[in-house]
């Protein structure tokens, strides 16, 4: 009785209380729905990534073509001084000729550029630009900027095209190319055995281009160029070359006002050069083999040093006077100071060291006035064994034969005496960034000669001739 009454009394109350309790919904169905949505999103993303990856591989290997106008990643420097300038030469306004040339440039460009897979291809042909085009005596020459593409990578190639004078675009043939260079000049030289050749150099607009023939070293210690270049518009020079090998490599110089933008050998050859074992060299070395101050040089090293000096100065063996002023050993290698002088000209001092094992190195090139050269002390900064730059603070000094004392003066500091050995050679120290002068005195204390210690040559200086810059001459 009691239990039945309790159940009948409590059940409605319990049901009412239970209905008032907020029981949460089962979470599993919601989790399952979200997980399925996430899985679909991941699958879609993975499929898209795979498709993009396949496309990129196809593009990068040139299997899938990419429009020429599409942006790319530049991977090599280009000579912007040339690319940013206007087209030059008589062909600059011949649009039909250039359009024909654009059309005939192969899909595989006439350049050899390494690629890991596939090959570089010509990009947007509408972007093929004429940098320079003109008729030289007997030849038509054009320098063209060709955009290249290797998948997403891009670069510019500057390609020379050469043909007979007045040639149509279909007659032009590739004559060389350059890419990935910061030099503000492009050069081309062609020499033919049966007809005149040519050399052409294209620099930035508003620059002056010279091409030197044989140099002239004046008795006052200055260098005069025989400029064989003719101007062909702004920043372009060309020269007509004889139908035989040149004796030496011509030097191209590009400048704007007093500033030298580029200076270096023209390249292209061939050059007759100088036979180091020929009869002209044998005759030149006869006087040099006489006893000299210091340790005597063997014939092989002497011949190498003289040959290097003549090649660098572009002087012939015939008519040149050679003096071996000192020889010894540096870093266990042969070392020498010698001078060469053309008839009636200035004197060029060369300090060299080296051997067959490490090669030969030029430590000094210095053009001096002919007057009083025998009384001048000569000094140079000693380089390391392998000739690397910059040199140490060590300075080698060679006194003239009649000198009793030599001093070195660094900046405004008091002069210091250089101790000389039996060969009248000595060593002192001058900080690499400090100027100095070397003075030789006679036994009575009179000044015999004064010579500045030359500054260190830069790599750009080394491309010119002795006397072409302050590092290689004493005359201002």
Tell me, rounded to whole angstroms, the distance of Cα 408 from its chain centroid.
35
Domain end among 209, 239, 265: 265
Burial of residue 148 (CB within 10 Å: 0-12, 13-18, 19+) is buried
pLDDT band at 28 (very low <50, low <70, confident <90, very high): low
Q: Are residues 343 and 291 in the same domain?
A: yes
Q: Are residues 294 and 381 in the same domain?
A: yes
Q: Are residues 247 and 386 in the same domain?
A: no
By mean pLDDT, which of 39-48, 141-150, 191-200, 273-282 is the weakest?
A: 39-48
Asked whether the beta carbons of 121 and 109 are under 8 A apart, the reply is: yes
Q: Are residues 86 and 202 in the same domain?
A: yes
Lookup result for tokens 């990419």: 66
Residue 359 lies in a domain: yes
Q: Are residues 303 and 349 in the same domain?
A: yes
Secondary structure of residue 292 in the 3-state scheme: coil
- What is the per-residue pLDDT across 2-13, written as a single tens digit (0 to 9) for each? 444 444 455 555
Q: Are residues 394 and 334 in the same domain?
A: yes
Burial of residue 323 (CB within 10 Å: 0-12, 13-18, 19+) is middle
Higher pLDDT, 187 or 293: 187
Residue 48 lies in a domain: no
Higher pLDDT, 142 or 249: 142
Residue 191 lies in a domain: yes
Residue 335 lies in a domain: yes
By mean pLDDT, which of 49-58, 189-198, 433-442, 458-467 is the weakest?
A: 49-58
- Bridge partner residues of 230 (DSSP): 238
Q: Are residues 88 and 130 in the same domain?
A: yes
Greatest CA span in the chain, whole angstroms?
152
145: nearest Cα among 163, 166, 160, 167? 160
Asked whether residue 437 carries a pLDDT value surpassing 80, the answer given is yes
Asked whether residue 40 carries a pLDDT value surpassing 50, the answer given is yes
pLDDT at 462: 66
Say what the alpha-carbon torsion angle 164, 166, 169, 170 is, to the nearest 10 degrees.
-60
Asked whether the beta carbons of 198 and 268 are under 8 A apart, the reply is: no
Q: Are residues 218 and 104 in the same domain?
A: yes
Burial of residue 170 (CB within 10 Å: 0-12, 13-18, 19+) is exposed
CA distances from 122 to 57, 104, 155, 242, 344 (A): 19, 11, 10, 36, 56
By mean pLDDT, which of 151-160, 217-226, 312-321, 343-352 is the weakest?
A: 151-160
Residue 306 lies in a domain: yes
Q: Which pairing describes strands 153-164 and 73-74: parallel, antiparallel, or unpaired? A: parallel
Residue 423 lies in a domain: yes
For the record, the structure tokens of 130 come out as 């004429």
For the record, the structure tokens of 7 come out as 């159940």
Asked whether residue 179 carries a pLDDT value surpassing 90, the answer given is no
Higher pLDDT, 373 or 460: 373
pLDDT at 75: 45
Asked whether residue 122 carries a pLDDT value surpassing 90, the answer given is no
Domain end among 205, 239, 265: 265
Residue 183 lies in a domain: yes
- Count of domains forming the chain: 2
Q: Are residues 184 and 83 in the same domain?
A: yes
Tell me, rounded to whole angstroms, the distance of Cα 344 from its chain centroid.
35
Asked whether residue 202 carries a pLDDT value surpassing 90, the answer given is yes
pLDDT band at 387 (very low <50, low <70, confident <90, very high): low
pLDDT band at 468 (very low <50, low <70, confident <90, very high): confident
* Range 427-455 average pLDDT: 94
Asked whether residue 269 carries a pLDDT value surpassing 80, the answer given is no
Residue 12 lies in a domain: no
Higher pLDDT, 175 or 392: 175
Asked whether the beta carbons of 291 and 298 are under 8 A apart, the reply is: no
Secondary structure of residue 202 in the 3-state scheme: strand
Range of the domain at 107: 73-265
By mean pLDDT, which of 57-71, 122-136, 380-394 is the weakest?
A: 57-71
pLDDT at 420: 95
pLDDT at 20: 57
pLDDT at 97: 94
Q: Quote the CA–CA distance of 307 and 305 in Å, as a whole number.
A: 5
Q: Are residues 241 and 156 in the same domain?
A: yes
For the record, the structure tokens of 249 come out as 């490599």
pLDDT at 115: 45
pLDDT band at 222 (very low <50, low <70, confident <90, very high): very high
Q: What count of residues does the chain have?
A: 476
- What is the per-residue pLDDT across 83-98, written as a single tens digit (0 to 9) for each? 888 899 999 999 999 9
* Range 396-411 average pLDDT: 95
pLDDT band at 391 (very low <50, low <70, confident <90, very high): low
Average pLDDT, the chain: 81
pLDDT band at 45 (very low <50, low <70, confident <90, very high): low
Q: Are residues 201 and 301 in the same domain?
A: no
Q: Is residue 135 within a helix (H) or strand (E), and if so which, with residue range?
A: strand 129-136
- Of the chain, the percentage scoring pLDDT greater than 70 comes to 75
Q: Residue 260: which residues within 8 A CB-CB, separation 6 or more?
A: 253, 254, 460
* Range 445-468 average pLDDT: 84
Q: Which pairing describes strands 208-212 and 153-164: parallel, antiparallel, or unpaired? A: unpaired
**DSSP annotation of 88:** B
Asked whether residue 44 carries a pLDDT value surpassing 70, the answer given is no
């Amino acid at each position: 009785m009691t239990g039945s009454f309790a159940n009948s009394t409590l059940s409605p109350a319990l049901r009412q209380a239970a209905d008032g309790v907020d029981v949460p919904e089962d979470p599993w169905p919601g989790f399952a729905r979200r997980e399925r949505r996430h899985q679909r999103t991941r699958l879609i993303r993975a499929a898209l990534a795979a498709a993009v990856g396949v496309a990129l591989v196809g593009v990068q290997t040139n299997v899938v073509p990419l429009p020429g106008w599409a942006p790319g990643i530049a991977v090599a420097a280009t000579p912007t001084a040339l690319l940013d300038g206007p087209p030059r030469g008589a062909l600059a306004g011949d649009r039909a000729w250039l359009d024909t040339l654009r059309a005939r440039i192969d899909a595989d460009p006439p350049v050899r550029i390494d690629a890991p897979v596939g090959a570089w291809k010509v990009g947007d042909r509408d972007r093929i630009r004429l940098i320079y085009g003109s008729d030289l005596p007997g030849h038509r020459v054009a320098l063209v900027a060709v955009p290249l593409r290797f998948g997403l990578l891009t670069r510019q190639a500057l390609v020379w095209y050469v043909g007979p004078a007045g040639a149509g675009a279909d007659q032009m043939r590739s004559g060389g190319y350059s890419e990935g260079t910061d030099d503000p000049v492009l050069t081309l030289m062609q020499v033919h055995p049966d007809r005149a050749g040519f050399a052409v150099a294209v620099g930035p607009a508003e620059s002056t281009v010279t091409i030197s023939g044989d140099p002239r070293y004046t008795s006052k210690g200055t260098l005069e160029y025989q400029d064989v270049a003719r101007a062909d518009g702004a920043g372009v020079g060309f020269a007509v070359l004889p139908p035989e090998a040149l004796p030496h490599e011509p030097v191209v110089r590009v400048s704007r006002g007093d500033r030298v933008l580029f200076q270096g050998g023209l390249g292209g050859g061939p050059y007759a050069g100088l036979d180091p074992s020929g009869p002209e060299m044998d005759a030149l070395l006869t006087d040099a083999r006489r006893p000299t101050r210091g340790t005597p040089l063997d014939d092989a090293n002497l011949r190498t040093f003289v040959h290097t000096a003549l090649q660098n100065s572009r002087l012939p063996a015939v008519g040149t006077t050679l003096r071996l002023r000192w020889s010894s050993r540096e870093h266990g290698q042969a070392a020498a100071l010698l001078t060469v002088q053309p008839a009636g000209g200035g004197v060029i001092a060369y300090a060299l060291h080296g051997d067959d094992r490490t090669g030969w190195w030029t430590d000094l090139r210095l053009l001096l006035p002919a007057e009083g050269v025998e009384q001048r002390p000569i000094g140079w900064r000693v380089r390391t064994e392998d000739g690397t730059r910059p040199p140490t603070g060590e300075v080698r000094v060679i006194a003239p034969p009649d000198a009793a004392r030599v001093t070195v003066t660094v900046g405004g500091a008091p002069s210091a005496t250089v101790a000389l050995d039996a060969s009248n050679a000595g060593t002192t120290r001058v900080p690499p960034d400090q100027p100095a002068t070397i003075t030789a005195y006679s036994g009575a204390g009179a000044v015999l000669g004064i010579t500045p210690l030359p500054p260190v040559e830069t790599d750009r200086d080394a491309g010119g001739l002795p006397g072409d810059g302050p590092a290689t001459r004493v005359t201002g």
